[in-house]
Amino acid sequence: MMGSSMNADPAPCAGASYNRRGFVSVASGCLLCGLVTPSARAGTDRPIDVGTLKDYPKDEISEKYIQNDIFVIRHKGKLFAATAICPHQRGYLLRDPKKPTRIICASHNWRFDAEGAITSGPEGKDLERFAISVNDKGRVLVDTSRSFQRPNWDDKASFVPFP
Ligand code: FES
């Protein structure tokens, strides 16, 4: 079966090799985290602190929180968090090292632009975004329990505007 050889689920923590999620699980001391699927982890009820707005001084696809399966992207006056899990077969997405304004999936070569819109692959398979906000201490928080598909990318909860 086609999907079984390309399974992107994390390796069990007891294994000798770790993908980025398994590594984070071990590093955080949560052995059970490495046993759940990315979709289960994406629904965490704990916001991810991704720093302050000053940590994003220019337009960029940041991989700093890739271990949380998100990109934090500053693009054209907005800061948003997009999934780093491919909508095809849940492969791991990365910023293209040859073209850092692009996101790629090494599994089957789907590509996405800096907004998370698909540019190479089936139409409509854009990257979902997560709720993002700035708290009263100036910390930028990403809430992966709330997501936004492309028709809702203008929702004010899906981005933080830059002045
Ligand atoms: S998993 Fe197939 S293109 Fe990403």
Are residue 59 and residue 124 in the same domain, yes or no?
A: yes
- The predicted structure's pLDDT at residue 32: 38
- Give start and end residues of each alpha helix (H) in the chain: 20-28, 38-42
Separation CA 81–CA 157 (nearest Å): 11
- Which atom of ligand 1 is nearest to 86's Cα? 4
Are residue 23 and residue 88 in the same domain, yes or no?
A: no
Separation CA 101–CA 38 (nearest Å): 24
Separation CA 33–CA 68 (nearest Å): 11
Are residue 8 and residue 65 in the same domain, yes or no?
A: no
Separation CA 130–CA 37 (nearest Å): 18
Q: Is the dihedral of CA 161, 20, 83, 31 positive or negative?
A: negative
CA–centroid distance, residue 107 to ligand 1 (Å): 5
Domain with residue 88: its CATH number is 2.102.10.10
pTM of the model: 0.77
Kindly report the protein residue whose alpha carbon is nearest to atom 2 of ligand 1.
Answer: 108
CA–centroid distance, residue 89 to ligand 1 (Å): 5
Are residue 56 and residue 99 in the same domain, yes or no?
A: yes
Are residue 38 and residue 91 in the same domain, yes or no?
A: no
Are residue 36 and residue 55 in the same domain, yes or no?
A: no
- Which atom of ligand 1 is nearest to 91's Cα? 1
Are residue 81 and residue 7 in the same domain, yes or no?
A: no
The Cα angle at residue 87 between residues 82 and 155, in degrees rounded to 5: 40
CA–centroid distance, residue 84 to ligand 1 (Å): 11
Are residue 82 and residue 38 in the same domain, yes or no?
A: no
pLDDT tens digit at each of 163 positions of the chain: 333 333 333 333 333 334 455 444 444 333 333 333 344 345 556 899 999 999 999 999 999 999 999 999 999 999 999 999 999 999 999 999 999 999 999 999 999 999 999 999 999 999 999 999 999 999 999 999 999 999 999 999 999 998 7
Are residue 88 and residue 134 in the same domain, yes or no?
A: yes
Q: Which amino acid is at 8?
A: A
Separation CA 107–CA 86 (nearest Å): 9
C-beta 110 within 6 A of ligand 1: yes
Residues contacting 111, CB < 8 A, separation 6+: 96, 102, 103, 104, 105, 118, 119, 120, 121
Pick from 9, 103, 107 the residue to mutate for probing ligand 1's pocket: most ligand atoms within 8 Å of its CB: 107
| Total number of domains constituting the chain | 2
Residue range(s) defining the domain that contains residue 59 = 48-161
Are residue 57 and residue 128 in the same domain, yes or no?
A: yes
- The predicted structure's pLDDT at residue 162: 85
C-beta 61 within 6 A of ligand 1: no
Are residue 128 and residue 53 in the same domain, yes or no?
A: yes
Are residue 85 and residue 145 in the same domain, yes or no?
A: yes
Pick from 7, 85, 89 the residue to mutate for probing ligand 1's pocket: most ligand atoms within 8 Å of its CB: 89
